Structure 1
Amino acid sequence: MPGRLPLVEQLDGLRSVLSRNEVLTDVMTRAAALELPGWYVTAGCLFQTVWNVVTGGPPTNGIKDYDIFYFDGTDLSWEAEDAVIKAGREVFAGLPAEVEIRNEARVHLWYEQKFGIPCPPHESTETAIDCFAATTCCLGVRLNSDGTWRVYAPHGLSDVFNLVVRPNPVLAPRAVYETKVARWKEEWPELTVLPWPN
């Protein structure tokens, strides 16, 4: 089980597992061409690919979309982000998947309206990834110009490989966590879901 291996071997295992999702590797290759500042492919498409492979399912099973985060604090206008989204539509045209691109420097401008609690401005893409509702989701991968992978995994990879979903009560409200895990549990009944702390 990769979740019990030394971290270096877990990273090799992660790359091996994620590479089985050809949509994901295509998204990463195309995303690199956009040259977005501080970008990562992140969220469900990563940990759900791992869950699929670990549980013997097709690598793309249950994945709703492929999220790309980037960080550009030089222009916080919607127009600047929308221009990137439109450029992305062309780059990702023809892929059998939805790709969502978001500038994490802008999240604090809309987060409270959507989730009912304020979000302090993020300082980087990494600080945005740190705020996912579950630590298991705090994962980002990008392709470097030399073809190597950069992996951001502040909580490690053991829970991801071991199908453990652990709450991360730093920003997202409890309801967001509970809604997400209810959906995931239907798709991946093998998950061990830890309760939100009181």
Structure 2
Amino acid sequence: MTNINTIIFDLGGVLIDWNPEYVFLDAFQGDRQKMQWFFDTICTPDWNENQDAGYPLAQATQDLVEKFPEHEHYIRLFYGNWETMLGGAIEDTVTILDTLIKSKKYKVVALTNWSHETFPIAQKHFEFLSWFDGIVVSGEEKTRKPFKEIYDITLNRFNITPEKSVFIDDNLRNIEAATALGINSIHFKNSKALIEELKTYKIYV
């Protein structure tokens, strides 16, 4: 196997616990069925991902308010209370990140689908975001995973050889896109499994 010299981390779901339920379960008074209907119908994952690709949060909110005026209160909560959706660091994975960086054997970068408007909030919360050799934020690039363009941006910006890199992401769709470009990839499930999968690339933490 080719010697790995670069490790690319996703952030949300791998190193950072982000979940809109932290806002909306309370907003809907514990009614998961109503909350899920709201996520499936109004503030959908596709809608949120559009902001990850650079669409302005205020405009995205207004678009939905005009379409669903009867749900204005809940729509405005999504970005109005966005900071509450940050549940904290996924500490076991942060420990892995720390070990990899301290080993000084690898270039360690991040590739994240994240609004450029909310990413500075995360940077204030999580000191480990300053550890990376670089971070590609989808909202700043006006594109997002799983589109080829953002992987190309990452590879070119940090002079990464796909075959000598490993990409870690909790979204299988993003993993499949990276694999198609020749990037070694690990579908993140939990930190313990990640340690075992890294071993297959002769990466020990």
What's the TM-score bracket when you normalise by the shorter of the two chains? under 0.3
TM-score between the two structures when normalised by the length of structure 1: 0.25
Query: Which protein has greater RCO, CA pairs closer than 8 Å, 6+ apart?
Result: 2
